[in-house]
Amino acid sequence: MNPSLDTKVHSRPQRCLPDEPIDVCRIRLMQPAGACAVVSEFRTADQVLDRWIGRGAGTPARREFTFEITFVDGYTLCGCYEFWRSARRRPCLARCVRSLFDALAMPPAVDLSRYAIDAP
């Protein structure tokens, strides 16, 4: 996985309580060929990615998808998810996002641990 990253914030964020996890509002997935899917859970996003990746002979070993994840507080994370196909490995967008959050250098005022990312 070699994700690229761009972040932005919407103009009308919803207020969240300080101890409340910040849930996902929308996950938009895009293929280079132009197909797009919009879902509301990481599990569903993984199912869409799995279907797009395919398992048959002749499918490319490496696939790349772009994503845009909007959280209920208005924070939006945009990036690129690179997936290498193998026999047992399944796509896991939540794991990719969690690693981006772990690597992301943000001002101390932003607590990324509050964002609800259900990574295994």
Residue 65: φ, ψ to 5°: -135, 150
Q: pTM for the whole thing?
A: 0.73
* Segments of the chain scoring below 70 in pLDDT: 1-18, 55-61, 85-88, 104-111, 119-120
Would you mind telling me the total number of residues written for the chain in this entry?
120
The predicted-structure confidence for 10-32, as pLDDT tens digits, reads as follows 434 556 666 778 889 999 999 98
Q: Which of helix, strand or coil describes residue 48?
A: helix
So what's the pLDDT on residue 11? 37
**3-class SS of residue 92:** coil
Residues 6 or more apart in contact with residue 22 via CB below 8 angstroms: 16, 71, 72, 73, 75, 114, 115, 116
Instruction: Find tokens 């047992």 and name the residue.
Output: 88
> Residue 17 to residues 8, 72, 86: CA-CA distances in angstroms?
21, 12, 42
Question: Would you kindly state where each structural domain of the chain is located, as residue ranges?
Answer: 5-12+22-96
